[in-house]
Structure 1
């Protein structure tokens, strides 16, 4: 067995690119405990082009389109195939916004045993053997509108600021530090 891994799963603001933005790279550097390996790019984890800034309205439209498309059979099959590539050694997945929805739509049994959902825009799934920790910002009206459950952790941020929020980073680092795969 190799070291446990952590992967980020969010919507893609630019479908042609899978590189993580600097704020997500800094997030991983801050939360990954010694002995854990971060998967170095974002969904679909193909080692594609580096991230480039996308205007917020365009990013929001693209994420909404992914959220909607994730319910189609073709999208489910694609997400499942991408997730299956991560299966193997212990894996924690940190989702952002519609990332939990993508994970649910493409769920592969036995994929991981820890999910940390930042600003989820859906209810918590009930998967046997998977610990799901929800983190919702006090100023995140979007997550509060769609999640509608008591979050495990509340942090002082809005929907677009989880990755840079020190309280979010501290909470995720604590959960990962306590994780025993």
Structure 2
């Protein structure tokens, strides 16, 4: 007796197409996650570099004497290169692009990066307020930019008494 039953071996066309669509969807999802993680990795790397660039310049500034005169800005006759800077005031308004070493040599890979320094005199009675004359407190801020975007900014307050104690 012959049976009308069909023996099916393998997959139908619809099953094959559905499995291809499922695998394709999973592949797209995996690529999206990978792309997102790569972008986040770049952002974390730039953040670490920015913080390092800001903190290293701030350390350099803090290694200088508190003041040589009572005005913020480079002293007359001092060059734009940081090698000649000998006080915190000399760094006021300092801007460098690209990022450079203290001797003025550009650091490879940082052509589109910029560092800016502000030095502000603070009122000892209220450190939230700035003033035009030095009363023994300065706020030093170093900001780092990549392109037009600020990536990092570090600040510290320096006291003239800190240096008098020989702590610096």
Same fold at TM > 0.5? no
Into which bin does the TM-score normalised by the smaller protein fall? under 0.3
Q: Name which structure has the greater RCO, CA cutoff 8 Å, separation 6+.
A: 1
Hey, which of these two has a bigger chunk of strand by percent? 2
Query: Over alpha carbons, which structure has the higher Rg?
Result: 2
- TM-score (ref. length: structure 2): 0.23
